Amino acid sequence: MHKKTELHCCFVLSLCILLIGGSLPCRSVWAADTMKIGILTATLPGGKGIENAARMAADEINGAGGILGKEIELVYGNAKDKPILGAYEYTRLAEKEKVIAVLGPASSEIALKIMEQVPRCKVPFLVIGAGTPKVGEEVAKDPEKYRQVFKVFHNSYEMGQFTTEWIVKELIIPRKMKKAALAVESAVWALPLARAWKTEMEKAGCEVVIHEYFDYHTKDFFPIVRKISQSGADALIVAFARTDPTAFVSLWADQQGPVMAGIIGLFQVLGKNAGEKSFSTISMAYPGVFGLTARDSLFCEKYLLRFKSRPEYTSAYTYDAMHILKKALESTGSTESAPLTQALEQTDHEGIMGRWVFDPVSHNPRFGPGYRRFMMVQWQPPGKLCCIWPEEMKNCDLIFPPWYQDNNQAAGKQNPE
C-alpha cells in the first residue's frame, strides 16, 4: 500500500472511531431483551463459513431456550478483506451495536489490526480464521492489555508441528527421499510453516531444491509447476489458503509432478473441480469439514443440509466458539466484560474440534492428544476422501500418483498402484 493511501486509511479509521465513541473507552451498554453477539466476516470463503455456522449455532441455542433466558441476536459486520475496515467494524459492533463479544474475521491481517482496538473497547474478541501465531504472542507479551482476546482457531506452529511430523516420519524418511520442493502462498500464516518444513526436511537429509512463494491472486501457475517438475524433487510440499488450488493441481497432474502433500485450504473445492487429477493429493484437514470422524459427522450433515455446501475451514471453529461463549455467559451470569472475560479464561469445553482449554498467558487453545487434533486426508479414486493419519483416525491407506515409482523396497513399502 502506498504511504499516502495508508495515511488516508488511518485517518479514516480514526475519524470513524471518533464518530462512534469519541476518544473515550468503548462503553458497554448491554441489550436488555437479547444477547447481542457481533459476527465479523470477510469476502473470503472462510467469511461465509463464519456467518453460516454462527447462524446455525444461534438458532440451535435459541431453540433450546437461549442463554440465561434470552435469545441470541447476531449482528454482522464485513471487513471485506481490508484490515483497516475490520478494525472499524469491530469498533462499530462494540460501541454502536453494543454487542457482548465479537467473533471473526477469517484473516490474520485483519485480526491483528482489530487487536489494536480491543484494549480501548474491552469487548471480548474471539479470533477465528487467523492462523498467525502473532495473536497469541501479542497476548503473551502484554496479558493485561489484550486480556479480552481469545484464539478459537489453530496457528501456524501447530500446523507446522503436525504436518512436519507426517511429512518427515511417514513420507521422507521411509522412502529415502533426497529432494523436495516448496510452493507456498505468500501470507503471514504460511511463512513460519514453510520455515518449519524446510528445516525439518533438511535435518532428515532431504534437500529443498525449489522454494517458491506466490501471491494469492495468482492465476498462471505454469512457470512454477514446470520448474518443480523439472527439478528432480521427490516430494512437493504446498501451502494454499485463499488461493483456489485447482489450476495448480491440474498442471501438476499434467506434468506428472512429485508426490504432493501439505495444507490446501480449499481441499473440498479441489476434489470437486479437479476430479481425477486431484487423486493422491494430500492435505492437513480439521474436524468439522468433511465429517470423517464420529465427533464431526453430525455437524457436517446438518450444515450441508441447511446451506447446501460443505462447511468451510472456519465453520466448526465458529460453532464451537458460540458454545464456548454460551457456557461462559451461563457460568458467570453476567454480560459485563470483566466477569465474562474471567469466565472465558476458565473454559473447558468439548466441541466439534475437540477439547477447548485456553493457555492462561497467551489465550491460545491447547493442542495435541487429549485436546484439539488435526488429520492428514487424501483424495482417492473414485473420488472419495479419507483419513490416512494419525492412526487413531485412519480409515484408509496412503496411495501415490500412478506415475510415481516407489523404489524403497528395503523399507518394506510397496507401490499401491
pLDDT at 123: 98
pLDDT band at 5 (very low <50, low <70, confident <90, very high): very low
pLDDT tens digits for 78-121? 999 899 999 999 999 999 999 999 999 989 999 999 999 999 99
Task: Return the biggest CA–CA distance within the chain.
Answer: 71
- Enumerate residues 6+ apart whose C-beta is below 8 A from 242: 44, 185, 187, 216, 265
Q: Are the C-beta atoms of 193 and 159 separated by less than 8 Å?
A: yes
Amino acid at 129: G
Q: Which of 326, 267, 320 is CA-nearest to residue 296?
A: 320
Name the percent of the chain lying above pLDDT 70.
89
CA pair distance 295, 300, nearest whole angstrom: 10
Residues forming beta bridges with residue 262, ordered by sequence position: 238
Q: Is the pLDDT of residue 19 over 50?
A: no
pLDDT at 400: 96
CA pair distance 105, 78, nearest whole angstrom: 8
Q: Where are the beta strands (DSSP E) in 225-348?
A: 235-240, 259-264, 282-285
- Quickly count: other Cβ atoms within 10 Å of residue 6's Cβ: 11
- Quickly count: other Cβ atoms within 10 Å of residue 166's Cβ: 20
Q: Is the pLDDT of residue 42 over 70?
A: yes
Backbone angles phi, psi at 183, to 5 degrees: -130, 110
CA pair distance 389, 318, nearest whole angstrom: 25
Element (H, E) at 302: helix 297-307
pLDDT at 193: 87
- Backbone Cα Rg of the chain: 22
pLDDT at 266: 83
Helices (H), 92-181: 108-115, 118-121, 134-141, 156-166
Angle at 292 between CA 290 and CA 294, to 5 degrees: 125
Q: Which of 372, 311, 328, 320 is CA-nearest to residue 351?
A: 320
pLDDT tens digits for 239-295? 998 789 999 999 999 999 999 999 998 888 899 899 999 999 999 998 998 898 888
- What the block records as the C-alpha cell of 27 is 462503553
Strands 384-389 and 375-380: antiparallel
- Quickly count: other Cβ atoms within 10 Å of residue 23's Cβ: 8
Q: Are the C-beta atoms of 86 and 40 separated by less than 8 Å?
A: yes
Q: Where are the beta strands (DSSP E) in 82-206?
A: 101-105, 125-128, 149-151, 179-185
- What the block records as the C-alpha cell of 245 is 488450488
pLDDT tens digits for 171-187? 999 999 999 999 999 98
Task: Calculate mean pLDDT across residues 210-221.
Answer: 92
pLDDT tens digits for 61-77? 999 999 999 999 999 99
What is the torsion angle, in degrees rounded to the nearest 10, for the CA atoms of residue 229, residue 232, residue 238 and residue 242?
Answer: -30
Domains of the chain and CATH, by start: 3-154+296-356 (3.40.50.2300), 157-285+381-411 (3.40.50.2300)
Q: Which of 217, 220, 213, 218 is CA-nearest to residue 182?
A: 213
At 263, is the secondary structure helix, strand, or coil? strand
- What the block records as the C-alpha cell of 304 is 450441508
pLDDT at 32: 56
pLDDT tens digits for 342-399? 999 999 999 999 999 999 999 999 998 899 989 999 999 999 999 999 988 899 999 9
Q: Mean of the per-residue pLDDT values for the chain?
A: 89
pLDDT at 22: 45
